[in-house]
Amino acid sequence: MAEIELHGTWPSPYSYRVLWALKLKGIPYEYVEEDLSNKSPLLLQYNPVHKKIPVLVHGGKPICESMIILEYLDETWPQNPLLPSDPYERAVVRFWVKFIEDKGPSAWVVFRTSGEEQEKAVKDSLEMLKTIEEHALGEKKYFGGDKIGMVDIACSGIAHWLQVIEEVVGIKILEPHKFPRLHAWTKTFKEAPIIKDNLPNQDEMLVFFKQAREKLLASA
């Protein structure tokens, strides 16, 4: 079997998506930490278009964009499938993956901004959470039903990173009484096997993101 490398950064939620998929499928891999302030020639060679992580390299061939990597992993290693087999159900999963890709970043806008811009981003984030709780999660244990699926992994930012953003900016967004089902899912997701042993340390993340926000606001 050809060698697999995951090029990522701590504590990127996009990196972790791929890491979890690899571990959930029991795929052996080597992790390469990239320095985004000083991008390696290898990263620029593997992802010349976006110059971003994560990049999965399989047998020397790079695949970019975390959710595209996940579809690749699911097709190449079908054990513990992340996507259902029915075409209609797959279309529904892909719809929610796209939704979170398009709307999820509003939480990061909350992190990066202040004042009116931040207020709008908070409003957008609340709408996003409401939609996914009502339409995507419903009464299910996981977005994927009885077990973790692609949408759970795509929404993991909400489970683990949102808390850090909230603490750094001092604004509560995912309030348990406002989003009871989604809040329950964040706990269930983080206690799931594999996930719980592979989460970035929250205290370390707080330090990291506090510093990052200070830098951002200073240069604004």
Partner 1 sequence: MAEEVILLDFWSSPFGMRVRIALAEKGVKYEYREEDLRNKSPLLLQMNPVHKKIPVLIHNGKPICESLIAVQYVDEVWKDKSPLLPSDPYLRAQARFWADFIDKKIYDIGRKIWTTKGDEQEAAKKEFIEALKLLEGELGNKPYFGGESMGYVDVALIPFYSWFYAYETCGNFSIEPECPVLIAWAKRCLQKESVSKSLPDPQKVYEFVLVLKKKFGIE
Angstrom CA distances, 124 to 2, 11, 107, 117, stand at: 43, 24, 8, 11
Among the residue ranges 25-33, 57-65, 187-195, 211-219, the one whose residues contact partner 1 (CB under 8 A): 57-65
Task: Find the binder of partner 1 among 5, 34, 71, 166 (CB under 8 A).
Answer: 71
* 99 in contact with partner 1 (CB under 8 A): yes
Q: Is 172 in the site for partner 1 (CB under 8 A)?
A: no
Which residues in 11-50 contact partner 1 (CB under 8 A)?
49
20 vs 8: CA distance, rounded Å:
12
Q: Does 133 bind partner 1 (CB under 8 A)?
A: no
Q: Which residue, 90 or 141, is less far from partner 1 as judged by CB?
A: 90
- The H or E element spanning position 141 is none
Nearest to 83 by CA among 27, 29, 21: 21
Which of 128, 173, 123 lies closest to 155 in space, CA to CA?
Answer: 128
| Smallest distance, partner 1 to C-beta of residue 168, A | 28
Those residues whose C-beta lies under 8 Å from the C-beta of residue 106, and which sit 6 or more positions away, are: 121, 124, 125, 128
Question: Does the footprint of partner 1 cover residue 147 (CB under 8 A)?
Answer: no
Tell me which of 118, 131, 163, 188 binds partner 1, using CB under 8 A.
131
Q: Which of 3, 75, 117, 204 binds partner 1 (CB under 8 A)?
A: 75
